[in-house]
Amino acid sequence: MTVIESPTPLPIDLDARYMLAREIAQQAGERALQMFRNRAALEVEHKGLQDFVSIADREVEGIVRTAVSEAFPADAFLGEESAAGASATLSSERVVWVVDPIDGTSCFLNGLYAWCVSIGILVDGEPLIGVVFDPNSGDLFHAARGRGAFVGETPLSASPACDVREGLVGVGFSHRLKPEAFMPFLVRLLGDGGMFIRNGSGALMLAYVAAGRLIGYYEPHINSWDCLAGIVLVREAGGTVNDFLANGGLLRGNPIIAAGRALYPALTALIDGRAD
């Protein structure tokens, strides 16, 4: 019997994808900023409780998708506005671009500045590239596995804090869950002398964890397009993140816990309701 061995997979050009992700994020962000300044004219739909989508989300996602398909036609794409039709086989693709065209749509539509473009790239099931662009500040957060995390050209480092009293913890919540799934954590955090902030953009707050601006971030359920880029940023900045992709997290979402390495055990203890 003749045994035919499977061919060795072709290498993936990470450099080209890393460069393109940064370029696309800025291009898409600049277009989003134009529409933000003229947001009163945008058509808006309600997807659910406190869950909105505008023509801006769809147009910006289209900019990213088109650029990716032209440069890397074999790569798969998972965008927030097209996720409803995503196949379960997507997780088996070698390269998947995971994109939120405007993370923080509610802020965007209400004239607040806490929104961004988020682009994460999975290679063979591992998040290897993350780019978060904040058009309002001009901050381009970016990272690739083994190369560190940066804002522009400035290297990032997660906070060395080891106690929640040493800084602000970012939090997120959506009405996909009941408030009871989240409120006990806030009670414990405040009871331990900590303080929280929520700005409406999980991707941006994870970038802040990577930059040491926040000491940690927790959200009991978040979608992959809101956090894949941030996961790479935090890890490359020396922080710790839970295994978000476990149990189908790419398509179903999961909790996200991110913090500097020293704080992570204490933060997870607060979330779980355990004594530190």
Residues comprising the binding site for Mg(2+)? 80, 100, 102-103, 226
Q: Which of 225, 224, 176, 226 is nearest to 200 (CA)?
A: 226
Radius of gyration of the chain (CA): 19
Q: What is the DSSP letter of 57?
A: H
Question: Hey, what amino acid is at 22?
Answer: R
239, β-bridge pairs = 260
Q: For residues 128 and 144, what is the distance between their CA atoms, to the nearest angstrom?
A: 6
CB-based contact 264:240 (threshold 8 Å): yes
Give CA–CA dist 70/78, Å, rounded.
Answer: 16
Binding residues, as ranges, are 80, 100, 102-103, 226
**Cβ 262 vs Cβ 160: under 8 Å:** yes
What is the DSSP annotation of 218-261?
Answer: EEEEE-HHHHHHHHHHHHHTTEEE--TTTTTHHHH-EEEEEEET
Residues 146, 13: Cα–Cα separation, whole Å = 15
Question: What is the rounded CA–CA span in Å between residue 135 and residue 157?
Answer: 22
Q: Could you tell me if 104 and 200 are in contact, meaning their C-beta atoms sit under 8 angstroms apart?
A: yes
- Cβ of 252: how many Cβ atoms within 10 Å? 11
